[in-house]
Amino acid sequence: MNCSKEFPTTDVLYRLLSSDTTVLVLTAIDIVITCITIGLFAEELWFLFHHCHEASKRTKTILLLALYPIVSFASLLSILVPTSTLIGEFVSSIYLSFCIFIFVNLVIEYFGGLKKMLCEYTDEMISFRTGPLCCCCFCLKSYPFTRRSMTVVKGLVLQVAILRPLLLFILSVLWSDGKYSLQQQTDFTNPASYFNLVNTASTLLAIYGLMITFRATREKLRTYRLTLKFISLQGTLIFMNIQSFITGFLGRAGIPECSNTIGSPVRASRVNHFLLIMEMFLFSLLARFAYRTTEEIYCNDEEDGANRDNTGATGAVASENGNGGVDTKLNDVNIIESAELNKTHM
């Protein structure tokens, strides 16, 4: 059988798969799951616009929640239109890199800004000895939680939002010129493979900065369900990168086997995107639960408590002033009576 490693056009693909009931059913399931994921995002938008009144926090939350329908839709597009696979993966990867940076900024905003966050962590230390890069680096010591240390952490995350889109843009240019394809990601005879190495190193540094932020803030932000938010983002990052690498490696090894002249790498890519759609649906459910908290209520409760305290203090002062006024009037009456008695005796 003459199996092609190139991604087929829609005309060729649907002609070959028109008699394959299993593939058609799985494709229909993909479409339904993607629509549900998009529907969940629309419902989350409604909730946020009605319960989250802080514009900056609401915007960051929406951008993070949009990750799951975007990745799911890009994966569905790669299944329905195989020749768009590279474009869909580039869009998903670029948006994910921005979400990592947005997440760190959202954590800082939960404290009310960087200044209030630093006040909250006065005289505390931040540990840089964490995964995935430095978990065994015992030479790394803890550093004071200062503006400088937070600048380093934000720099670790910011670099992926700048470097990764630039690298993927270069790879897309090479792809359009026929010098790069998905099957050549680990072929080191091709210069594009070295761009992938830099891209991987940049992603690991971003994960490192994300882990430092999470480990330092998870206890103080327990009421914000920070662990669940971190798991939903970290899980997406892991599955999009590691799962894609594993399925690509299996495809080049001939797993799954060639079918209907569709080569193993193409079929492996379709399996990867099918799994991603299912995983994004599950992560969107987790994120919906994690972000579905009216976080401004916590602030309002504290403000109400402070207002009640102030009201009580004001009432106490007023009460004291009132009693003081009565005492003053009684003293005035006593002085007047004493003066009248003195005049009588005289």
- Alpha-carbon distance 268 to 258, whole Å? 10
Which of 11-15, 110-114, 308-312 shows the lowest mean pLDDT across its residues?
308-312
Residue predicted with more confidence, 122 or 310: 122
Percent of the chain with pLDDT strictly greater than 90: 29
* Sequence-separated (6 or more) residues with CB below 8 Å from residue 99: 63, 64, 67, 233
Average pLDDT value for residue range 100-120: 91
Average pLDDT of the chain, as a whole number? 80
Q: pLDDT value at position 273?
A: 95
What band does 81 get if pLDDT is binned at 50, 70 and 90?
very high
Q: Give Cα separations from 89 to 36, 269, 326 (angstroms).
A: 21, 11, 80
Query: 């909250």: which residue's tokens?
Result: 120
Query: 């494709």: which residue's tokens?
Result: 27
Average pLDDT value for residue range 246-253: 83
Residue predicted with more confidence, 118 or 338: 118
- Alpha-carbon distance 125 to 141, whole Å? 10
Of 16-20, 129-133, 147-151, 255-259, highest mean pLDDT: 147-151
User: Phi first, then psi: what are they for 70, rounded to 5°?
Assistant: -65, -45
Q: pLDDT value at position 47?
A: 92
Residue predicted with more confidence, 50 or 19: 50
Residue 38 neighbours by CB distance under 10 Å: 17
- Is the confidence at residue 331, as pLDDT, over 80? no
Of 64-68, 211-215, 224-228, highest mean pLDDT: 64-68
Residue 43 neighbours by CB distance under 10 Å: 12
The answer to whether the CB of 67 falls within 8 A of the CB of 96 is: yes
Q: pLDDT value at position 324?
A: 46
- Alpha-carbon distance 44 to 47, whole Å? 5
Q: pLDDT value at position 304?
A: 44
Q: Give Cα separations from 317 to 324, 327, 330 (angstroms).
A: 10, 15, 20
The answer to whether the CB of 236 falls within 8 A of the CB of 68 is: yes
The answer to whether the CB of 216 falls within 8 A of the CB of 226 is: no
Q: pLDDT value at position 126?
A: 84
Q: pLDDT value at position 338?
A: 53
- Is the confidence at residue 272, as pLDDT, over 90? yes
Residue predicted with more confidence, 214 or 123: 214
Tokens linked to 86: 């590279």
- Is the confidence at residue 68, as pLDDT, over 90? yes
What band does 60 get if pLDDT is binned at 50, 70 and 90?
very high
What band does 16 get if pLDDT is binned at 50, 70 and 90?
confident
Tokens linked to 243: 């799962």
Percent of the chain with pLDDT strictly greater than 70: 77
pTM, entire model: 0.80
Q: pLDDT value at position 248?
A: 80
> At residue 282, what is the residue type?
L
- Is the confidence at residue 28, as pLDDT, over 90? yes
- Is the confidence at residue 131, as pLDDT, over 50? yes
- Is the confidence at residue 313, as pLDDT, over 60? no
3-state secondary structure the chain: CCCECCCCCHHHHHHHHCCCHHHHHHHHHHHHHHHHHHHHHHHHHHHHHHHCCCHHHHHHHHHHHCHHHHHHHHHHHHHHCHHHHHHHHHHHHHHHHHHHHHHHHHHHHHCCCHHHHHHHCCCCEECCCCCCCCCCCCCCCCEECCHHHHHHHHHHHHHHHHHHHHHHHHHHHHHHCCCCCHHHCCCCCCCHHHHHHHHHHHHHHHHHHHHHHHHHHCCCCHHHCHHHHHHHHHHHHHHHHHHHHHHHHHHHCCCCCCECCECHHHHHHHHHHHHHHHHHHHHHHHHHHHHCCCCHHHHHHHHHHHHHHHHHHHHHHHHHHHHHHHHHHHHHHHHHHHHHHHHHHC
The answer to whether the CB of 255 falls within 8 A of the CB of 264 is: yes
- Alpha-carbon distance 262 to 241, whole Å? 24
- Alpha-carbon distance 165 to 245, whole Å? 19
